[in-house]
Amino acid sequence: MPAKKPTRTLRMRRLAAELRRLRESAGLSREDVTAATRINGSTLYRVESAQARPQLRTLHTLCDLYGVDEAEREELLALTKDSGKQGWLETYPSELPTEYTNYILFESEARTIRNYESLFVPGLLQTEDYARAVIRGTVPLATDEQVEDRVRARLQRQELLHGTEPLRLRAIVDEAVLRRVVGGPCVMREQLLHLGTMAKLPHVEVQVIRFESGAHPGMPGSFVLIDFPEPADPAVVYIDSMAGDLFLEGDVEVDRYSLILEQLIGVALSPDESRQLIGTVAAGMTAED
């Protein structure tokens, strides 16, 4: 069985960015580093793109080559040692796909999540029964145990919205999210009532794009913009698709999705109007399965 790829964390991203900066400040290409140190070029690329953590020996060699002083060397060593920390996810990392694990870790360290969804209630706002119905419907080959692992992870993620410094969430959803009856009318009604309740929290905004709005920039698919509290940690775009999960980290891509999100906010109902619509749709759901 092939070794599982290391889970990316913010610390790993920060370490990779700092090592790239040090190499470029020294005026060296990756080929130059390989020639001077015999560190494999593909290994260096993986370290600088946050796909692998450097061995301590490799890190010391790079620090020597780049002329890093003792204080900065200690910071890099600390980042390396802490780069694999995963918090609560360590309870069951092997049961979750690697890219989903990466997303959860980024989400757990975020300041703000801006989420557009065209078909589902955002995961952070799902009820347990709705989440279970979604997972069973979208991952039909999953075992009961795998389904419950994912439900448990989703519910645990929602703790980010509670506490003294909760995550700020802005969710834009297409009206189809409200109208598609997932898990039956009873489950869907409970979900809509929960969505309306969560939308009243001061750190949660929910906006709905009506069918009458016609075509809009979100129709190609859902995405998440993740913003972090530290300036050293640039925003990330996360896209979950049938072809696989994708993280976009370049300035051009992040700016493009930020612009799309602003356009969607402009098309959507206001938060107050959205809560009213959610309540109306919930009231129209029958209480019988």
Alpha carbon distance 275, 79 (integer Å) = 43
Identify the pLDDT of residue 13. 77
User: Which of 47-61, 112-126, 230-244 is the least confident region?
Assistant: 230-244
Report the mean per-residue pLDDT for the chain: 88
18 and 155 both lie in a single domain: no
CATH for 243: 3.30.870
Greatest distance between any 2 Cα atoms in the chain: 72
Identify the pLDDT of residue 89. 46
Alpha carbon distance 96, 82 (integer Å) = 21
Please write the tens of the pLDDT for every residue from 63-84: 999 999 998 888 888 878 765 5
43 and 107 both lie in a single domain: no
Residues 6+ apart with CB under 8 A from 269: 207, 208, 209, 210, 277
55, 82, 109 — which closes off a domain? 82
Domain span at residue 51 reads: 10-82
52, 82, 112 — which closes off a domain? 82
Is pLDDT above 80 for 23?
A: yes
pTM of the complete model: 0.76
Identify the pLDDT of residue 246. 85
Give domain status of residue 124, yes or no: yes
Give domain status of residue 2, yes or no: no
